[in-house]
Chains A and B, each alone.
Chain A
Amino acid sequence: MGEKRDVLGLVLTLSSAVALMVALGMVFLYAPREATMGDVQRIFYFHVASAWVGFFAFFVTFLAGIGYLARGERRWDILALSSVEIGLTFIAMTVVTGSLWARPVWGTYWTWEPRLTISAVQLLIYVAYGMLRASVEGPERKARFAAVYGIVAFVTVPLSWFAIRWWRTIHPDVMTGGEGMAFTSRMGHTLLVSLVAFTLLYATLLRQRIKLERAADVLTRLRLRAQSIAK
């Protein structure tokens, strides 16, 4: 069954490889050097792109959760779980690149800047989702609980975003004062290409992760059959 050619997977892999190369080239060669922050600002393109994927992945999990509760089919659960794992990686990358950027620009690795804070909250939600799955017995129940958590958690994310934003505007953070960036159209192009590249990468990883989970399912079934024959 695994023998047939995965054309879509191949296309995705190749196109995300090309897009990432182009994005990388643009980040270093095409995008101009930012006037006040210097080269450090170049991390911005991948930082924003991974934040976008981190958020989008959770949205996919939210939709997959609804799909699972409505239909009860395993494929929705596979989609939800795959998307969360990839989203976790990207949101962790967002927090790390944000810290790397913050150090030279704001003089500290961590500041309770709104967007960094919301990324950290999202990271914790992803971690909680993972812990929940690990702690529930039985695949059907695991899928059901995870779907419910994915839905309710996603509902609170926009509210967190508002709350953290308002909270920080009321108590302005001096360290974010120098944040205004001189944004040129070349920067815009680079950001756009990075976003496309990361989205393609997400799709590629998602595809692979789903295949992996399906293979694991097949393996479990074979094992169960082998056991029943041996008896």
Chain B
Amino acid sequence: MGFLIKVWAIVVKDVAAELHTREMVSAMLVFSVLSLLIFSFALDLRGAVAQAAGPGVLWATVAFAGTLGLSRSMAREQQSGCIDGLLLAPVDRSAIFFGKALGNLIFMAVLEIVLLPLFSALFDVPFLLPGVLLVVALGTLGYAAVGTLLASIAVNTRAREVMLPVLLLPLAVPLLIAAVQATGGLVEGASLGEVGGWLQLLVVYDLLVVAASMLTYNYVVEE
């Protein structure tokens, strides 16, 4: 029980810090809107094109905006020296991992709560389906988990923010393929059963990366 309380304390800390400045979520949001704008120029997102390319554009936007938030969340820990405090506290390292990952998950979820209706309205693509929301939840979970681990690594390198996308995106390939395919299928009217294979792949990815990140996080933050 104590474990969950510790995880929760870290989440609350991150959310409170973000509520003070609002710099991370607002940067992610503005970036996402710009990304939609650029994609709409680049691909001329109307009618059938929007239907076909929409899921890909959505996930590309979420993935890139996600790296922004993940980098920022870890950089903030470092600049404020908060991570040192966390490491000194009598808290299991995996609790720190889950706390940070859950915080990042919440920030990405806030972004998606705004992004999905906006996207649907601007390009007339029906993203607000229960199935799509499930796919978004599963995809974001895995992305936030592996992203939290890699952001903790990237923040300790010389290249810092530049390093995170380079490390994260190749590992996110299976997640992004599965998420785009499942979203695309659902938007075109497929049932959950018809995209079941992709959902399974997402679940397996989530389980594997959460387990691997939890087990290795200890070695990332030990100093």
User: A residues bordering B, Cβ < 8 Å?
Assistant: 69, 121, 124-125, 127-128, 131-132, 135-137, 141, 144-145, 147-149, 151-153, 155-156, 159-160, 162-164, 166-167, 170
CA distance A166 to B219 in the complex (A): 35
A156-B174, A162-B174, A163-B177 known; A148-B157 Cβ under 8 A: no
**Smallest beta-carbon distance A134→chain B, Å:** 8
CA distance A159 to B197 in the complex (A): 12
In the complex, which residues 172-206 of chain B have their Cβ closer than 8 Å to any Cβ of chain A?
A: 173-174, 177-178, 181, 197-198, 201, 204-205
Q: Does B213 make an interface contact (CB < 8 A)? A: yes
Q: Chain B residues near A170: list those with CB within 8 A.
A: 181
Partner of B205, one of A137, A144, A145, A156: A156
CA distance A132 to B150 in the complex (A): 11
Interface-centre pick from A137, A156, A166 (highest chain B CB count, 10 A): A156
Instruction: Flag if B153 contacts A149 (CB, 8 Å).
Output: yes
Instruction: Flag if A159 contacts B174 (CB, 8 Å).
Output: yes
In the complex, which residues 143-182 of chain B have their Cβ closer than 8 Å to any Cβ of chain A?
A: 146, 149-150, 153, 156-159, 163, 166-167, 169-171, 173-174, 177-178, 181
Instruction: Flag if B212 contacts A152 (CB, 8 Å).
Output: yes
Q: Chain B residues near A151: list those with CB within 8 A.
A: 212, 216
Cβ-closest chain B residue relative to A150:
B216
**Contact flags (1/0) for B66-88 with A, using CB distance below 8 Å?**
00000000000000000000000
User: B residues bordering A, Cβ < 8 Å?
Assistant: 146, 149-150, 153, 156-159, 163, 166-167, 169-171, 173-174, 177-178, 181, 197-198, 201, 204-205, 208-209, 212-213, 216, 219-220, 222
Q: Chain B residues near A152: list those with CB within 8 A.
A: 146, 149-150, 171, 209, 212-213, 216
Q: 18 A–B contact pairs at CB < 8 A?
A: A69-B219, A128-B166, A135-B159, A145-B220, A147-B219, A152-B149, A152-B171, A152-B212, A155-B212, A156-B174, A156-B208, A159-B205, A160-B173, A164-B174, A166-B197, A166-B198, A166-B201, A170-B181
Partner of A153, one of B158, B170, B181: B170
CA distance A131 to B158 in the complex (A): 10
CA distance A145 to B173 in the complex (A): 21
Cβ-closest chain B residue relative to A153:
B171
A69-B216, A159-B205, A164-B177 known; A149-B167 Cβ under 8 A: yes
CA distance A125 to B169 in the complex (A): 9
Main DSSP-derived SS at the A contact region: helix
Interface-centre pick from B163, B201, B219 (highest chain A CB count, 10 A): B219
Instruction: Flag if A159 contacts B208 (CB, 8 Å).
Output: yes
CA distance A121 to B112 in the complex (A): 27
Instruction: Flag if B157 contacts A136 (CB, 8 Å).
Output: yes
Interface-centre pick from B149, B171, B177 (highest chain A CB count, 10 A): B171
Cβ-closest chain B residue relative to A133:
B157
Cβ-closest chain A residue relative to B205:
A159
A69-B219, A135-B163, A166-B197 known; A145-B156 Cβ under 8 A: yes
CA distance A170 to B182 in the complex (A): 12
Q: Chain B residues near A124: list those with CB within 8 A.
A: 169-170
**Smallest beta-carbon distance A79→chain B, Å:** 17
**Smallest beta-carbon distance B68→chain A, Å:** 18
**Smallest beta-carbon distance A70→chain B, Å:** 10
